[in-house]
Chain A
Amino acid sequence: MSDIKTAAASTVPEEPLVRPRLSAIFGCFFLIGSQSFGGGTTAWLRREVVIKRGWLTDKQFLASLAICQITPGPNPLNMSVFLGSVLGGTLGALAGFAGMMAFPTLLCLALGALYFTYNQVPGLEILLGGVGAVAIGMNLANAIRLTRKNIHKFRQLAVIVLVSVAVGICHFPLLYVLVVSVPLNLLVEICQP
């Protein structure tokens, strides 16, 4: 299904594919904010915004994601503001922010009240163990799908491997990795489109 949308979008890749209503933007990010247990937010974002609703193409989603990863602040929240703004202007950005924060805020405050009263939250370890492990798998599966669908050149694959090894295994600071990889890759894209 998403393949058809991507193909249709390739004629006008710059514009969002639709102009959703504010309530739809809020609802979409509320759903992501309340489902993304254990992390995995990037996967939920792509599932709700690109696959289920078809608001953006994969390429638009990835460019937005990169910008939000470079910018300070939590990625899920940055994405809700960025995509909210792209889809619905200033009010869209506010709707995205509010939608993303609503459920996590309420849940955190409730659990916080529980913790400050009883000094523990029962069942937390259980959630952290299995759910966290699934969420990591969600992100990996999402990255694999994105690679399969959008990466067609060997040199692009090389960039993926280099960036993930530099940050994920060598633990180079993200800022340094970006300062090196973004201009270099831009140069390559301009010289050999």
Chain B
Amino acid sequence: MILQLTALIKVFGGLSLLAIGGGNALIPDMQRVVVDQYHWLTAREFLDLFAITRATPGPGSTIVLLIGQKVAGLPGAFIGALAMFVPSSLLVFILSCLWHRTRHSKSIKVIENTLGPIAIGLIFASAMVLIEATEHHFLAWAITLFATVVLAITEMNPMIILAAGAGISLAISLL
């Protein structure tokens, strides 16, 4: 048990600070280590767990919870998640303190103006990458387009459209 927990810390702690561009960038690396190197999961299980965490809300890399759960039960889940999330969160926290300290300087406006368009560009990029990764078929394109238009021009609660999206998928799967 202790051995497995230390292995989880080693694997996910090592990956934590490499996850630039969000957790999904890590998935191929994680799969290699977890499936091929440590044999904690089969390739099929890895894909299934990845699908589960994509369907749940919140950060995508919660797959580490499930890998930890498979390896060492609940303690494994928590230790794995902490090893994955604490190092990167600490780095963000340090950056936020620096940010807070520079908030009165004149350069903050320049920095905000510099980073703003880049951040927006990355949101567009993530949508494009997801469309490609999920192999959007005609219906998915239609749903995405509909959601984009409605949410861009109305103040409707997105939850309603999410529910509608689930409803449409359910209807199609029943037909």
Q: List residues of chain A with CB under 8 Å of any chain B CB.
A: 13-15, 33-44, 47, 59-60, 62-78, 81-82, 85-86, 90, 93, 97, 100-101, 103-105, 107-109, 111-113, 115-116, 120-121, 124-147, 150-151, 156-157, 159-169, 171, 173-175, 178, 181-182, 185-186, 189-190, 193
Contact = CB atoms under 8 A, between A and B. Distances in A.
B2 interface: no
Nearest to B110: A189
A156 B117 CA distance: 6
Contact of A77 (B89, B126, B151): B89
Contacts of B32: none
Given A131-B166, A133-B136, A140 B20 contact: no
B33 interface: no
B69 interface: yes
30 contacts: A14-B103, A37-B56, A37-B57, A67-B115, A71-B95, A72-B88, A74-B23, A74-B61, A76-B58, A82-B93, A82-B99, A85-B97, A86-B96, A108-B66, A109-B77, A131-B55, A133-B136, A133-B144, A140-B147, A141-B150, A141-B152, A142-B151, A146-B120, A151-B116, A159-B117, A164-B122, A164-B125, A171-B129, A173-B21, A185-B118
A140 B57 contact: no
A108 B52 CA distance: 7
Given A66-B115, A66-B119, A185-B114, A130 B65 contact: no
B55 A124 contact: yes
Contact of A132 (B54, B115, B129): B54
B70 A164 contact: no
B147 A97 contact: no
Q: Which of the four size classes fits the interface of chain B? A: 35 or more
B59 A104 contact: yes
Interface in B37-80: 48-49, 51-62, 65-66, 69-70, 74, 77
Given A39-B130, A75-B22, A78-B92, A168 B125 contact: yes
Contacts of B143: 130, 133-134, 137
B65 A73 contact: no
B173 A126 contact: yes
A37 B117 CA distance: 26
Nearest to A44: B158
Contact of A115 (B49, B115, B151): B49
